[in-house]
Amino acid sequence: MQTARPATDREAPLLNIAVVGHANTGKTSLIRTMLRSTAFGRIEDAAGTTRHVERATISAGQEAILNLYDTPGIEDVYALREKLIRMVASKKGTIQAAILTDFTEQTAPDDPLEQEAKVIRQVLRSDILLYVIDVREPILEKYLIEIELLSKTLKPIIPVFNFIETHRADLDKWRQKLAEFNIHASLELDTVAFAFEAEKRLYQKIQSLAEGYYQPLQRLIDFRAQVWRKLCQSAARRIVMLIVMAACYRQTVDPSGQGVTAQSATQKLQQAIRLAEQNCLYDLLAIFNFTQQDVILQNLPIQDGHWQLDLFAPGVLKAYGLDIGSSALKGAAAGAGIDLMVGGLSLGAASLLGALAGTGWSTFRRYGKEIQAKIQGASWLCVDDNTLQILYLRQRQLLNKLVHRGHAAVHVEQVDSSLEPQRLPEGWHEIINILRQNPAWIRSSHVRDSSSQYQDIESRLITALIEK
């Protein structure tokens, strides 16, 4: 969605937007969030991390729409105001855009106010200003001076309130103060606790201030909304693949003790499900443009490819509000569906084959391996209901956290122990029973993917995962 190509003479000029504000308020974080990328700029706790103006271009498909300019923080606003007042005194006037232009032209590269000159220079070249405010900061005089000086550039200003998630009272104070400057068109866009609707409103506010760019911006809004829907649907579909795999998975157990024992089968099953969840997790990170390096950098709740809370660890059932008296796995004959199909007849070889005589070849083709193993006395381990519920709830929680995680976030995500089983999709047990009766669905195939029953299950699970 972002490029760095220069505009050609045949291209319409792009909308230029300067992201400005005091040092360390989250300017680079805002651009990362808008780009959905952790690669842009640097983010550190120390003030003054951004030292130069950096550009990023946001596009709708192949159409470049606007340039975002990340500017250094204004660190010495008092010295800047004194310098401008002296310049104004020599001309017997007030601070105006012309004075600001003179200031940028007269400031040498080694001047103490060189950084402030870089900011003002870019502001004068831009069409709109996004003024980023860290609402956690007290409303100090330096911020008010900063806003006053920026208003002299005669550029439209959109205040963007950052870090608002747990600071609503501070946000109200900032709104009241900005109203004294006749600035009302502000926006809440938390670069840590992301919300797509907030990003959409930002583009709409820009649209209202840039009439000449209305149509290109509308194409951008529509494009971003479409991409976001596809991202969420792709992530949900990937989770469905995991649930299908886990519900269809069977691990053979040899009751004679000559082959795979119950203990080794349990270990293999657990390993297979853990690995499947890890692969799903990495795919989800990639879908939302987070990487495995970002996992380490940003302290998501994953370590060495595992959730820090192991799916099969003691206490997980209790943490998710499930029945702690149930085992994490159950030994279940894969022929459980056959038991039901033949009306509960004894599964001795003779009665089984007799029952199959009336069911037809399609039944044997579908359950052939299970039937053969049953005759030979083998059984299977499969993932039980509680484990499948945990697996689903964990993925739903991870999806929710990734959807609402800004690309500037560095906080540690916590596994929420308050999840309740009623968040399961409607008809969950019916879905799981159908999946268990179709072990061949563990892998994608034309037969599976074209099945109306499978398509219905996939659609129901996707809807449940992305519903608000």
- Per residue in 362-400, pLDDT (tens digit) is 555 555 555 555 555 556 778 888 889 888 988 898 898
Q: Strand 251-253 relative to strand 302-303: parallel, antiparallel, unpaired? A: unpaired
Residue 251 has pLDDT above 60, yes or no: yes
Two tokens at 189?
């866009």
pLDDT level of residue 257 (50, 70, 90 thresholds):
low
pLDDT 10s digits, 27-61: 888 888 888 877 775 544 444 445 688 999 999 99
Q: Give the pLDDT band of residue 12 (cuts 50, 70, 90).
A: low
Instruction: Flag whether pLDDT at 309 surpasses 90.
Output: no
What is the rounded distance in angstroms from the CA atom of residue 316 to the CA atom of residue 297? 26
230's CB contacts (< 8 A; 6+ apart) are none
More confident residue, 449 or 402: 449
Q: Which residue has the higher pLDDT, 360 or 464?
A: 464
Cβ–Cβ < 8 Å for 153, 125: no
Question: How large is the average pLDDT for residues 151-163?
Answer: 89
Closest Cα partner for 107 from 146, 76, 132?
76
The band of 171, judged by pLDDT with boundaries at 50, 70 and 90, is confident
**Residue 49, helix vs strand vs coil:** coil
Q: What is the mean pLDDT of residues 149-178?
A: 86
Determine contact, residues 117/111, Cβ cutoff 8 Å: yes
pLDDT of residue 314: 62
Where does the pLDDT of residue 293 fall: very low under 50, low under 70, confident under 90, or very high at 90 and above?
Answer: low
Q: Is 15 helix (H, G, I), strand (E, B) or coil?
A: strand
Instruction: Give the pLDDT band of residue 327 (cuts 50, 70, 90).
Output: very low
Q: What does the mean pLDDT of the chain come to?
A: 77
Half-sphere exposure of 289 (CA within 13 A, CB side): 18
How far apart (Å, rounded) are the C-alpha atoms in residues 73 and 50?
Answer: 7
Position 343 scores a pLDDT of 31
Q: For 188, which DSSP code?
A: E
**Mean pLDDT throughout 294-323?**
58
pLDDT at 308 over 60: no
Helix%, strand%, coil% for the chain, nearest 5: 50, 10, 35
What pLDDT score was predicted for residue 250?
A: 83
pLDDT at 351: 47
Per cent of the chain over pLDDT 70 is: 69
Name the DSSP class of 180: T
Fold for the domain defined by 2-209? Rossmann fold (3.40.50)
Burial class (CB in 10 A: 0-12, 13-18, 19+), 6: exposed
pLDDT recorded at residue 421: 45
Q: Looking at the predicted structure, is the pLDDT value of residue 158 above 80?
A: yes
The span from the CA of 38 to the CA of 290, in Å, is 8
Cα separation of 171 and 165, whole Å?
A: 10
18-22, 158-162, 373-377: segment of lowest average pLDDT: 373-377
The crossing angle, in degrees rounded to 10, of helices 428-436 and 452-466 is 140
Q: Where in the chain is the domain with CATH 3.40.50.300?
A: 2-209
Give 14's pLDDT tier (boundaries 50, 70, 90): very high
pLDDT attached to residue 225? 94
Please tell me the predicted confidence (pLDDT) of residue 300.
54
Burial category of 418 from C-beta neighbours within 10 Å (exposed 0-12, middle 13-18, buried 19 and up): exposed
Residue showing tokens 């000559």: 258
